[in-house]
Structure 1
Amino acid sequence: METILFQGDSITDAGRNRADTGSLGNGYVEMIARRLPEFRVLNRGVSGDLTADMRARFEKDAISLAPDYVSILIGINDTWRSFSEWRDTSTSAYRAIYTDVLEETIQKTDAKLILMEPFVLPIPQDRKEWRADLDPKIQVVRELASKYQALYVPLDGMLNAAGIAQGYSEIAPDGVHPTKRGHELIAEAWYSSFTSFTKK
């Protein structure tokens, strides 16, 4: 049975029980796992993590698990913290750290890479200011997906379009953390990309 490992921050964590290594949380990871019973699915997202925090625990929470697929959704906290505290959350730092993680994965595992696009919705109003910081980071993920021939899952435009159509609060009331509907949309985007990728 092949293993799909999900890595990221609170969006991936989704309230998982960290004392239970099999806990998937109540978000998109659990929804995907229900649709892929032939895979072993692991969730190692940690709420509040910046990209640097994920890198610091990557050996334990990713490499040592010998995954066949590594799916990463990270970056919104790098943007969030750039507006609230002093840490190096620049685009150049994000690129360097993310690249380190991907290089380590390639060098130490045979895992295929799946990179998910970070996103933000314009609710509340101050989230609109975040675009100038997040957009370059989204571009970094796109470039890394191309460089490392990873599966790329675009989320930002899709979730914002859903917010326009259905109401932003129905998708992510704080612009960051998805509702059940938001997680369903993320799960569907990931699943559609993954199944088309694995059928090639």
Structure 2
Amino acid sequence: MNQNSNDNNPPALDNRRDVLKRSLLLASAATAFPLVGNAFQASAAPAPLAPEIEPNQVILFQGDSITDAHRDRKRAGANDPAALGNGYPMFAAGGILASHPSANLKVYNRGISGNKVPDLDNRWEKDCIDLKPNVVSILIGVNDIWHKMAGRYDGTVETYRDGYAALIERTQKALPDTRIVVCEPFVLRCGAVKDDWFPEFDQRREAALEVADRFKLTVVPFQTMFDEAIKTTEPAYWAADGVHPTIAGHALMATKWREVVGI
């Protein structure tokens, strides 16, 4: 009887060799075909785990139209897509809630279009203090100059700085354990933003950073972020009118916010 070359190998060894071959083929395929879902996926470092967060935290976004982002003000509940609007608070809230599904977090948006620092102060008790946030994020400043340029407001850089500082002091007195996040005001040089916005806008932006430094607060560097983004992309891609972000601009803001705040 003729014998082939495999007759000299025990069946168990052949099986082990087959398993090894299949394993090598699978490994090669996984590298060659980086699909998603239940199929092959490219070799990469595993996604980092979300940072730990205390349960039952309340996170509040405050500001003007950039934060408001067409939210439905008739709906004031936490984690409600309509109440969160179409902007960076909604993007950030989605990521936060997805990262911490068991933490029972509550995310609110209380931004109101057209607001300046005095407007925040007038509604702060109801729209901040009463909510008892563990984290309150504030983005305010563009209307303080825009309305002045339009002749509807006469507040100076000093008015902005001192009013902002008083708002922080008020918050810390009422909510001593609350983490306050100051978002750097920003504009992009396109649309409504002309040369006559400067240098006063930069002075107001620096005033916000001065307040944050005085009270040792977390700063989300939105202007710095957009200055970097426009090195390779037209400003209007991120904010068509120079003030209100596009969907890409809002998404970029949410990513930066979560990166800096750490949640």
User: TM-score if structure 2 supplies the norm length?
Assistant: 0.72
Q: How does 1:106-117 map to 2 (within 5 A)?
A: 106-109=172-175, 110-117=177-184
Could you tell me which of 2, 8, 18 is aligned with 2:73?
Answer: 18
How far apart are residue 131 of structure 1 and its match?
A: 2.5
Deviates more, 1:57-66 or 1:162-171: 162-171
TM-aligned CA distance change 1:140 to 1:167, over 3 Å = same
Query: Which amino acid is the alignment partner of residue 188 of structure 2?
Result: L
Distance 1:32 1:120 in 2: 20
Decide whether the 8 Å contact of 1:7 with 1:45 is kept in 2: yes
Q: How does 1:37-186 map to 2 (within 5 A)?
A: 37=97, 38=100, 39-109=105-175, 110-124=177-191, 126-186=193-253
Instruction: Give structure 1 regions of 4+ aligned residues with deviation exceeding 3 angstroms.
Output: none
Query: Which amino acid is the alignment partner of residue 88 of structure 1?
Result: D
Question: Number of matched residues?
Answer: 196
Distance 2:249 2:152 in 1: 30
Q: Identity rate of aligned residues, in percent? A: 38
Distance 1:165 1:89 in 2: 35
Distance 1:126 1:34 in 2: 31
Distance 1:126 1:98 in 2: 23
Distance 2:191 2:85 in 1: 26
Decide whether the 8 Å contact of 2:191 with 2:241 is kept in 1: yes
Matched, 1:31 2:91: yes
User: TM-score if structure 1 supplies the norm length?
Assistant: 0.93
How far apart are residue 187 of structure 1 and its match?
A: 0.6
- 1:58-115 Cα offsets, whole Å, 9 max, x none, are 1110011111111000000011012111423211100111111101110001211100
Distance 1:155 1:125 in 2: 18
Equivalent position SS for 1:105: helix
Distance 1:174 1:70 in 2: 27
